[in-house]
């Protein structure tokens, strides 16, 4: 059964939900949060004896920690609560949580204690949660660094301290959790940029709050349920013309492999026919490994196509510019990748032409390509990947995937998605070409741009994950190996969708 696509909220959204749900809530949201985190923590220490270290900060995240610590004390576990601030400055709910902990017999220490002889059963980061907006420094930076080195399960409450909730950017230093219990809903920073390296395994505890009932989310995690209605079995009475003509335009001298990878991916994901238009006049006109592909000169692609991708191995020659300009004027689904994006960034007239298109346009930039399109540097894009993807999508009226750890899919209407499939073994040449081919295949088969982009992006990462589970990678995984795994997974999705009546 396909899992639902969980909502994602930035800090402002979470704050709005809390403000609406909190008045009159009994028990309080903090009491629910501390108890829920304790339930997750119990699962981490089922067979681990020894004391639990809880590092509590000066705000509501610290209050969550004191609720958790109280529950463990009442359950008979030894708890050490480290707290180095002034309890008189606590917000009201956190002050209540602190007082209840002290009234239960709990005490605090003002510095991190040395680990006991047999080590900690668990260390818990309840320092700053979602509220942190500036780099950690001084005592708390030292605490985070020390806690991150403890060789035991490490649980972050709501967010790892030092991780920007909205962007996933490390603020100076950051707690490196093995597990994170987050409250109400997912946050962008857990899923993109540095987040996955610091959050570990994520548990969402909703605290009996219907987040979407209080505030409709603009963001969601990518899951097959988002495009399951498109996963339809093929009619027996069909032919190659039923599944579209896809084309890949690129393959300048020395870069034909990029175009062929994209074309092979489009073929193996079900396009009825696949053409590859190559700029390299000396390139062979047959792909011996896949003779089903129809190789052409770049200027000789058919007029009647269902979807066209421009960019894999395209180069930035005058010929490439002219071919891109002509492609933008065509009334068909268009994917722009690699050097097509670089040419677009350098030519305002091409950008205006893309913006004026009525047919679907999909952009697939990596962070440096996105920076060129936005007229900024790569660091600016990476510091707020979500904002960058939305800016591109809105400016060029295109569906956009900003590739990288936690790829961001942005729609022109302001909705967005974060994909969490895939692994670091995908940091390998040709992976983006394969993604372009997968997107083009689905567009050629009549999928709308949003569903095609979501499905291809998720499939791309899931295929890599499957290969890694089978012992292929992560180190040394090649782009070509991904294509067969993507085909197998996609057919599995079709079977699952049919079984569940989509």
Q: What is the pLDDT of residue 188?
A: 98
Average pLDDT over residues 464-477: 96
**Structure letter (DSSP) for residue 170:** B
CATH number at residue 359: 3.40.1190.20
In a domain, 80, yes or no: yes
Residue 24 marked in a binding site: no
The answer to whether residue 232 sits within a structural domain is no
Residue 26 has a pLDDT of 84
- The answer to the question of whether 328 is labelled as a binding residue is no
Domain limit, last residue, from 172, 188, 221: 221
Q: Are residues 29 and 139 in the same domain?
A: yes
Place of tokens 């052409």: 296
Does 404 show up as a binding residue in the annotation? yes
pLDDT at residue 46 greater than cutoff 90: no
Residues 256 and 161 grouped into a single domain: no
Instruction: Report how many domains make up the chain.
Output: 2
132 is in an annotated binding site: yes
Give the whole-angstrom CA distance, residue 85 versus residue 175.
19
Q: Is 378 helix (H, G, I), strand (E, B) or coil?
A: helix
Return the structure tokens found at 109.
Answer: 């220490």
- Determine whether the annotation assigns residue 375 to a binding site: no
Phi-psi region of 42 (alpha: psi -120 to 50; beta: other; left: phi over 0): alpha
- The continuous run of DSSP H or E covering 275 comes out as strand 273-278
Model confidence at 361: pLDDT above 90: yes
Assess contact for 392 and 410: CB atoms under 8 A: yes
Domain assignment of residue 78, yes or no: yes
Q: Which of 329, 404, 392, 393 is nearest to 366 (CA)?
A: 404
300 and 201 fall within a common domain: no
Question: Phi and psi for 234 in degrees, rounded to 5?
Answer: -75, 140
One domain for residues 407 and 447? yes
Is the peptide bond between 213 and the residue preceding it cis, with omega within 30 degrees of 0? no
Quote the pLDDT of residue 367: 98
Q: Is 60 annotated as a binding residue?
A: yes
Q: In b/e form, how buried is each residue of 182-193, taking b as 16+ CB within 10 angstroms?
A: bbbbbbbbbbbb
219 assigned ligand-binding residue? no
Residues 59-79 have a mean pLDDT of 96
Check the annotation: does 161 bind a ligand: yes
313 is in an annotated binding site: yes
CATH number, domain containing residue 148: 3.40.50.10260
Q: What Å distances lie between residue 475 and 57, 265, 457, 468, CA to CA?
A: 39, 21, 20, 9
- Same domain for 199 and 285? no
Report, as an integer, the average pLDDT of 203-231. 96
- Asked if residue 2 is part of any domain, the answer here is no
Q: Residue 385 belongs to what domain range?
A: 244-499
Residue appearing with tokens 């100076």: 172
- The pLDDT-based confidence of 460 (bands split at 50, 70, 90) is very high
Alpha-carbon gap, residue 485 to 479, rounded angstroms: 11
Output the pLDDT for position 285: 86
The SS3 assignment for 37 reads helix
Please give the pLDDT value at position 120. Answer: 96
1 within a domain of the structure (yes/no) = no
Reported as a single tens digit per residue, the pLDDT across 369-404 is 999 999 999 999 999 999 999 999 999 999 999 999
For 37-41, 45-49, 139-143, 495-499, which range has the lowest pLDDT when averaged over its residues?
45-49
Is residue 257 assigned to a domain? yes
425 is in an annotated binding site: no
- Given a cut of 90, whether residue 25 has pLDDT beyond it is no
In which band, very low, low, confident or very high, does the pLDDT at 47 lie, cut at 50, 70 and 90? confident
158 and 284 part of one domain: no
pLDDT of amino acid 136: 94
138 is in an annotated binding site: no
Of the candidates 461, 385, 382, which has an alpha carbon nearest to the alpha carbon of residue 426? Answer: 461
| Chain mean pLDDT for the chain | 96
46 and 194 share one domain? yes
Residue 69 has what pLDDT? Answer: 98
pLDDT attached to residue 24: 73
Residue 263 banded pLDDT, cuts 50, 70, 90: very high
C-beta atoms surrounding 31 within 10 Å: 21
- 85 marked ligand binding residue: no
403 known member of a binding site: yes
* Residue 258 assigned as binding residue: yes
Residue 433 labelled as part of a binding site: yes
Q: Which of 187, 221, 255 corresponds to the end of one domain?
A: 221
Is 138 in the same domain as 64?
A: yes
- Does 248 lie in the same domain as 215? no
d(CA 114, CA 52): 12
Q: Is residue 158 domain-shared with residue 215, that is, in the same domain? A: yes
Within 10 Å of residue 492's Cβ, how many Cβ atoms? 13
CA-based torsion, 11, 12, 15, 16: positive or negative: negative
Listed residues 161, 186, 221: the one ending a domain: 221
Q: Is 241 annotated as a binding residue?
A: no
Statement to judge: residues 153 and 282 lie in one domain: no
pLDDT of 284:
84
pLDDT for position 1:
75
In this structure, is residue 238 part of a structural domain?
A: no
Residue 272 labelled as part of a binding site:
no
Q: Which two tokens stand for residue 184?
A: 């109400």
User: Is residue 406 annotated as involved in ligand binding?
Assistant: yes
The answer to whether 186 is a known ligand-binding residue is no
Q: Would you say 419 is a known binding-site residue? A: no
pLDDT in tens, 265-281: 999 999 999 999 999 99
The pair of three-digit structure tokens given for residue 164, joined into one six-digit string: 């920007």
Look at residue 109 and tell me if it is in a domain: yes
Give the tokens for residue 9: 């909220």
Shared domain for 205 and 267, answered yes or no, is no
Look up the pTM and report it.
0.96
408-457 pLDDT, tens per residue?
999 999 999 999 999 999 999 999 999 999 999 999 999 999 999 999 99
């Amino acid at each position: 059964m396909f899992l639902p696509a969980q909502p994602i909220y930035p800090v402002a959204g979470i704050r709005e939900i809390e403000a609406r749900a909190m008045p009159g809530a009994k028990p309080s949201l903090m009491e629910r949060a501390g108890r829920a985190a304790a339930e997750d923590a119990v699962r981490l220490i089922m067979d681990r004896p020894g004391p639990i270290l809880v590092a509590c900060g000066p705000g509501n995240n610290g209050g969550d920690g004191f609720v958790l610590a109280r529950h463990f004390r009442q359950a008979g576990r030894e708890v050490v609560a480290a707290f180095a601030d002034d309890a008189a400055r606590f917000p009201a709910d956190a002050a209540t949580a602190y007082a209840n902990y002290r009234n239960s017999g709990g005490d605090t220490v003002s510095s991190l204690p040395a680990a006991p002889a047999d080590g900690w059963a668990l260390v818990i980061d309840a320092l700053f949660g979602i509220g942190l907006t500036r780099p950690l420094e001084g005592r708390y930076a030292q605490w985070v660094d020390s806690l991150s080195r403890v060789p035991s399960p490490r649980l972050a409450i709501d967010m790892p301290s030092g991780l920007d909730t909205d962007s996933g950017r490390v603020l100076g230093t950051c707690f490196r959790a093995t597990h994170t219990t987050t409250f109400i809903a997912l946050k962008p920073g857990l899923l993109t940029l540095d987040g996955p390296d610091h959050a570990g395994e994520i548990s969402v505890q909703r605290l009996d709050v219907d987040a979407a009932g209080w505030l409709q989310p603009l963001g969601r995690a990518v899951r097959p349920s988002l495009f399951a209605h498109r996963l339809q079995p093929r009619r027996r009475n069909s032919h190659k013309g039923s599944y579209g003509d896809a084309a890949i335009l690129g393959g300048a001298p020395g870069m034909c492999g990029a175009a062929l990878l994209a074309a092979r991916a489009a073929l193996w994901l079900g396009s009825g026919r696949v053409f590859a238009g190559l700029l390299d006049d000396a390139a062979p006109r047959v792909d011996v490994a896949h003779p089903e592909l129809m190789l052409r000169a770049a200027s000789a692609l058919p007029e009647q196509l269902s979807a066209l991708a421009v960019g894999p191995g395209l180069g930035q020659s005058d010929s490439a510019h002219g071919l891109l300009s002509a492609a933008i004027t065509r009334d068909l689904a268009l994917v722009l990748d690699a050097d097509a994006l670089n040419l677009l960034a350098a030519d305002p007239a091409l950008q205006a032409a893309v913006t004026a298109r009525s047919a679907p346009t999909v952009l697939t930039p990596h962070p440096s390509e996105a920076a060129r399109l936005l007229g900024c540097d790569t660091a600016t894009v990476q510091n707020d990947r979500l904002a960058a993807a939305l800016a591109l999508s809105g400016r060029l009226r295109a569906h956009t995937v900003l590739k990288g750890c936690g790829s961001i899919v942005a729609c022109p209407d302001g909705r967005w998605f974060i994909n969490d499939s895939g692994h670091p073994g995908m940091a390998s040449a040709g992976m983006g070409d394969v993604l372009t081919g997968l997107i083009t295949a689905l567009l050629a088969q009549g999928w709308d741009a949003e569903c095609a982009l979501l499905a291809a992006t998720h499939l791309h990462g899931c295929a890599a994950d499957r290969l890694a589970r089978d012992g292929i990678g992560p180190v040394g995984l090649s782009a070509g190996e991904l294509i067969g795994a993507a085909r197998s997974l996609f057919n599995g999705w079709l079977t699952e969708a049919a079984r569940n009546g989509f």
